[in-house]
Structure 1
Amino acid sequence: MALQVGDKIPSFKAKNTDGEDFDSVTIVGKKPVVIYFYPKDNTSICTAQACSFRDQYEAFTDLGAEVIGVSSDSVASHKDFAKEHQLPFVLLSDSDKKIRTLFGVPSALFGLLPGRVTYVVDKKGVVQLIFNSIKGQNHIVKALESIKKLVS
């Protein structure tokens, strides 16, 4: 069952770019969070999306929010991707697709690609926005608008 606006984010764990354990309870429920699921490191749209989040990262953190990117790529792939593009936010490896399944992220392009969905979560851990679009750069605008509404 897919998460809906108004649902509380379930807790999850995954490996970050350094291969360390990340536990969502360290952030979710403590501050606003943008969790975005994307298909694959180093593809054109995913790279543009990640770089757009990078370029706007300070705007998110100035509002007290954190950004987390999730894909099924390996820790090593994430590490290289983050280094090459100087990504300042957390990337999580969801190689077993447990987090994607937990959130109910749908597939895209007739089930051929993992979906591209962004969740904006308030500081209580409740979903305030779900944005599902194959167009990667649109996610940043929607997420930032939503975070601004949460903190105003």
Structure 2
Amino acid sequence: MRIGTTAPDFELADHSGERRALTELTAAGPVVLFFYPAANSPICTAQACHFRDLGTEFERLGAQRIGISTDTRDRNQHFALQRAFDFPLLSDSDGAVAEQFGVRRGGWLTRKRRLRELERGHSTAARRGLVRQLLSVKRTTFVIDRHRVVRMVVRSERGHVHATKALDYLRYLS
């Protein structure tokens, strides 16, 4: 997904089970959509907590923060409750939305394929499949305007830079 392109619409359940659609979210103002690989991992926790801690700043600028991962709704719910997040965490468990946004890591091994490789004596097949599952998306943040146009993209595995860069961009616009 590049700057200036229209973000694909999607509808996913958040950590509380409520269905959220991108068109509805952007109708209320800009959306800062951040993809994170795995709930409760150290870098993802730091990334999401930084978005939480800067919440007042984002609200002043009229922007909504939305986290999205391939974790299950239950895992996201635990993560949100444990860290007192005041924004929705969406569950993209099949990776379809990550694929649309171009942040899904390639080469996912299906369970069937992993078993087949194990039968053939490839000892690293299961481990490789687990790593790819844990790191299923590239840590990426999108600033999306009311018309679903992508205005900024942050691509970095350093979790603490995403909220700061998105916030700096939103300040620049206002």
Count matched residues.
147
| Residue identity matched to 1:61 | E
Once residues 35 and 49 of structure 1 are traced to their aligned partners in structure 2, the CA distance between those partners, rounded to angstroms, is 12
Q: Which blocks of at least 5 consecutive residues in structure 2 are unaligned?
A: 107-130
User: Could you report, residue by residue, the CA deviation over 1:56-78 in whole angstroms, capped at 9, with x for unpaired residues?
Assistant: 01110111000000000011111
Unaligned stretches of 5+ in structure 1?
Answer: none
Within the candidate set 29, 33, 50, 1:35 is matched to 33
> Alpha-carbon deviation of 1:27?
1.2
Which aligned pairs between 1:57-136 and structure 2 lie closer than 5 A? 57-107=55-105, 112=132, 113=135, 114-136=137-159
The 3-state SS of whatever aligns with 2:9 is coil
Larger Rg computed on CA atoms: 2
Measured against aligned partners, the alpha-carbon deviations of 1:85-113 in whole angstroms (never above 9, x if no partner) come to 000011000001011011111539xx942
Question: Any conservation in 2 of the 1:36–1:119 contact (CA below 8 Å)?
Answer: yes
- The answer to whether structure 1 residue 12 and structure 2 residue 10 are counterparts is yes
Once the 2 structures are TM-superposed, how far is the Cα of residue 29 of structure 1 from its aligned partner? 4.4
Check conservation: 2:23, 2:148, Cα contact below 8 A. Answer: no
C-alpha contact 1:30 1:125 (8 A) present in aligned 2: no
Normalised to the residue count of structure 2, the TM-score between the two structures is 0.80
Distance in 1 of aligned mates of 2:147 and 2:62: 13
Bigger share in helix: 2
TM-score normalized with structure 1 length? 0.91
Which residue type is aligned with residue 142 of structure 2?
Y
Moved over 6 A (4+): none
Structure holding more strand per residue: 1
* Percentage of pairs with the same residue: 39
Q: Distance in 2 between matches of 1:29 and 1:10?
A: 14
| Structure 1 counterpart SS, 2:93 | coil
Q: Which residue of 2 aligns with 1:138?
A: 161
Q: Secondary structure at the match of 1:73?
A: coil
Which one-letter code corresponds to 2:140 in the other structure?
A: V
Aligned to 1:107, the other structure's residue is in SS state: coil
**Alignment check: 8 A CA contact 1:30 1:124 kept:** no
**Deviation (angstroms), 1:30:** 3.8
Question: Secondary structure, in 3 states, of the residue corresponding to 2:80?
Answer: helix
